[in-house]
Amino acid sequence: MQLFTRRCLSLFVLWSIYSVSAYATSTTPIFDEEVIKERLDTLSDEVVAPRYVTAVKGYLKGYLVRNRKNAERILGRTVLYFPIFEHYLKEHGLPDDLKYLAVVESALKPRATSRVGAGGLWQFMPATGKSLGLDITSQFDERWDPHKSTEAAMRYLNKQYKRFDDWALALAAYNSGSGRVRRAIKRGRSKNFWRIQRFLPRETRNYVPAFIAANYMLNYYEEHGLVPEYPDLDIQITETIKIYNSISFYRVAQLTELPLEIIETLNPSFKRGRIPTDAEGHYLTLPKRVMPAVKDYLEAQRPDGAFDSHVFSSPVFVEAPAKRYTNAKYIKSIYIVKKGQTLSSIAKEVGVSVQQLKMWNTLRSSDIQADQELILYFPKSFKRFRPFKPLAIVEEIPDVALTELEHIGLKNPSLIHLGRQFEYYYVTRKEKPSAIANRIPGVNYSKLMLLNGWHKDRPLKPGTLVKVRRVGDETDD
């Protein structure tokens, strides 16, 4: 949904699928156009009536023949993001098929960023995101928040549909702006997308065909031998709460024993490894099995209520989850369907999504029968917070101080004194923790890595704040 002159990630994602791949071999699956045409006729037309045109053929070949691996990754992410999309689509009274639009926009990558600055699952430019109520600061970017960005996308799509009273035109306006669509309507003297498409920018002409191709791929992938790359259960079975007080990812790692990279990827909108204080609240998403420990901790800190419990139970994708966090932490069980039950009612009862039930049981539809056996997965145990177990002292940097540090650090990259126990080193150019440890007298490399929750000696980005124990302070972590 961005102006044509200011954003083009959709075109990049689509063209990367659409373009010819060099590795096509004699083992390439058969692409039967007549069969595909027949299947297109069976697809839902609640958003766009499917039709087989040259552009649709090109995108379908990209998904089904040339770039199958990418298609399988996208399919794996649907079990994570489609429950979120379906929730907000239903809340706003919009067609369920609109969830396929995010496949076109970002290939279901929450931190996808175009070369012109469009970002997130729904690819908002900064100005557009702010106009839709998404905050973008030095500490966080809500365009990368799966929940808040999806709500914003629903509002914008609803606005475009009310403006044009046609979903094909609304999608075109999402891509290139309502002004261009109005001018095309005027020049073409029609409100039929297919009749006025020649008056639209090329990527907008291809936008609706790309939507049709995504719809087909997601409904008929099995017939083409595509196997979804699903993430680990620890990433699928998650819970989201809303918190209002500042907390660092390092503290969350202490409470949950999760790797920092998992926490960071589950919460992609935060740039500095911490969730800042906010009266409106921020979402925190974690594997459901460890969320009780965080809730216990928050209640112990603020008995009057420091969070909204169970805002949403839905997963967020991790590109490469840690190998040790696998299905070993979950129990496989069998659920016997009772008479009158639906897949939706069972999902609600056991606290998972319909998408998960379908995936675990390889179901193509939501149709089930009494006495049918369904596979379910549950955590073996839920982690709890033990107040009597001492935690390492972690001083949160005040939000105001962080703002000041941006200016102080740029002018003076030396150690900055905040709080009684720690100093903070402001990184002004790419350098590794080992180099920082060597540069600062009295700093131990191993303790520096432990204090900041790092596992590898990787270069740090400019603007990173490195926590350093004050020289002479012998308190253990």
201: which 2 tokens?
A: 């920018």
Catalytic one of 105, 151, 203, 261: 105
* Residue 279, amino acid: A
Q: How far apart are CA 204 and CA 200, in angstroms?
A: 6
CA–CA separation, 161 and 18 (whole Å): 28
Q: Is 395 a catalytic residue?
A: no
d(CA 305, CA 69): 45
- Which runs of E-coded beta strand occur in 166-268? 238-243, 247-248
Q: What are the angstrom distances between the C-alpha of 172 and each of 115, 187, 191, 204, 212?
A: 21, 16, 12, 6, 13
Beta strands 307-312 and 238-243 are: antiparallel
DSSP string, 79-139: HHHHHHHHHHHHHTT--GGGGGHHHHHHTT-TT-B-TTS-BTTTTB-HHHHHHTT--B-SS
Strands 330-336 and 282-287 come out as unpaired
Q: How far apart are CA 450 and CA 464, in angstroms?
A: 16
Q: State the catalytic residues.
A: 105
